[in-house]
Amino acid sequence: MGTILPPLLRMLFPGHRRHFTFTRQHVPMPEPPERLNLYVHIPFCRRICAFCPYVKQVYASGVALSYMEAMRTELQRYRDAWGDRPVESVYFGGGTPSLAPEIVNRILESISGSLRSSTEIGVEVHPIDVRPRLLQSLIESGVTMVSLGVQSFDDRHLAMLGRGYDARQAYEASELIMSAGFAAVDIDLIFAIPGQTEQEAVTDVSTAFALGAHQVSAYPLIRFAHTSLGSQLSNAHASSPSWNKERRMLKAIVTQGRDAGYERSSIWSFTRPGAPRYTTVTRDSFIGIGAGASSRMGDYFWVNTFHVDEYIRSTESGTPARLATRLDEGDRMAYWLFWRCYDTIIDHARFRSAFGRNMPRRISAALMLLDHAGLARRASHSAFRLTDPGAYLFHLIEKHYTHAYLERLWTACLHDPWPEAVTL
């Protein structure tokens, strides 16, 4: 598959470059956006899961307090430059934001002048944290959406993933969070877990659908070299499902979602018709606050240092350097197109509003080609929607990009707080 994908990628995502180099640099303050999308990274967890590739460390209250102040300083720099811009969305990810609801509350207080009644405020919640008091605190802070990281409703698979709770706790947490009154509850699941059968993957998603979640997201387990999952699997003589079994699982999950009356809202998510969608980095532009947070705004894509101590030190001591790459218009279009394919809908009208011009002919031609190949079909006069085979192709592309881009960037940034340059 690896030999087929690169030519396909160049056809679908016609950027000008084969390589991106991120260098350590000062990123100029972008022009103030009309509406701001924020991502806030809270890198603290109760324990570390074997498969987890994200920026995280075990919670310690002193570090968490200093970290919160550093994030407020980082946010204030934007506010000094831009004033109280209206915030369209703010998502707290991690890590485990629900372990530190006081940080969520304090950050929201800092930007209260920019919040509107329509602002989406989303928080990732760990099942162990789901208690009436936490839910009440999130609602009082203004949180409207939550994403519950259940991962599985099966004891065996929860143990394999090292989650620290069992299926009964996962189910009870889901029921409680569903009754708390949030505008949207997303339940996150993982499929293609070593040893998981197709039926078990289907049972997991159908449990989440039956609970009435507004959105159910089922992500394939992707093994990152820097996690301990690989060695754990070798010790247990377990291996990941074959690509064909993973394909069958995804197909069965999609069928289950449709049968339950959900719409496919991304290659890995299903949303109840009319429900708000829980989504973070798929936005056209956003600012990330905190260690390891990425931002995409103006001509740049950049990431903050992945090291929590360095993040606190450098933020408090002045403008921190970032690892950044400059994007020309072709790159920005490729980036936009990548995430619209992830959404499974590519809309000419949305392109025009993002770029102020019509889609270039080469992109329209690629869409027509996908249409002829049965990988996309017209959904309206201005939009194409990926068909199931098209969405499966993009599932493969997304996995390829995760290893070719994210994993390489993250590995370098986890290894060294300030790499001079990373070429992808």
Where does this chain bind ligand SF4 (CB under 6 A)?
A: 45, 48-49, 52, 54, 56, 94-96, 126, 149
Using the minimum distance from each CB to ligand SF4, give the nearer residue, 345 or 413: 413
Q: Are 273 and 214 in contact (CB under 8 A)?
A: no
CA 196 to chain CA centroid, Å, is: 24
| Residue number with CB closer to ligand SF4 (54 or 339) | 54
Q: How far is the CB of 127 from ligand SF4 (least distance, A)?
A: 10
Q: How far is the CB of 47 from ligand SF4 (least distance, A)?
A: 7
Residues making up the chain, counted from first to last: 424
Nearer of residues 5 and 50 to ligand SF4, judged by Cβ: 50
Q: Helices (H), strands (E): how many in the chain?
A: 15, 19
Q: Which is nearer to ligand SF4, 254 or 308 (CB)?
A: 308
Consecutive H or E run containing 295: strand 294-297
Q: Smallest distance, Å, CB 18 to ligand SF4?
A: 32
The residue (of 64 and 383) whose beta carbon lies closer to ligand SF4 is 64
- Strands 421-423 and 322-326 come out as unpaired
Q: For residues 99 and 337, which CB has a smaller minimum distance to ligand SF4 in the complex?
A: 99
Choose between 4 and 48: whose C-beta lies nearer to ligand SF4: 48
CB closer to ligand SF4 out of 45 and 130:
45
**Taking the complex as a whole, how short is the minimal distance between the CB of residue 54 and ligand SF4, in angstroms?**
5
User: Shortest approach of ligand SF4 to residue 44 CB, angstroms?
Assistant: 8
Percent of the chain that is helix, strand, coil (3-state, to 5): 45, 20, 35
Q: What's the half-sphere exposure (Cβ side, CA atoms, 13 Å) at 130?
A: 25
Task: Find out whether 9 and 59 touch, Cβ atoms under 8 Å.
Answer: no
Separation between Cα atoms, residue 301 and residue 293, nearest integer Å: 11
Shortest Å, Cβ 294 to ligand SF4: 16
> CB 312 → ligand SF4: shortest distance, Å?
19
Q: Give the C-alpha separation, 271 to 265, whole Å.
A: 6
Largest CA distance in the chain: 58
Least Cβ distance, residue 223 to ligand SF4 (angstroms): 14
The CB density around residue 302, as the number of other CB atoms within 10 Å, is 20
Give, for 230, the enclosing helix (H) or strand (E): helix 229-235
Residue 246 near residue 220, CB atoms below 8 Å: yes
Angle (CA) 20-21-23 rounded to 5° is: 150
Report the nearest approach of ligand SF4 to the CB of residue 393 (Å).
28
Sequence-separated (6 or more) residues with CB below 8 Å from residue 317: none
Nearer to ligand SF4, 63 or 424 (CB): 63
Ranked by CB distance to ligand SF4, the top (closest) residue is: 52
Q: Give the three-state DSSP class for 374.
A: coil
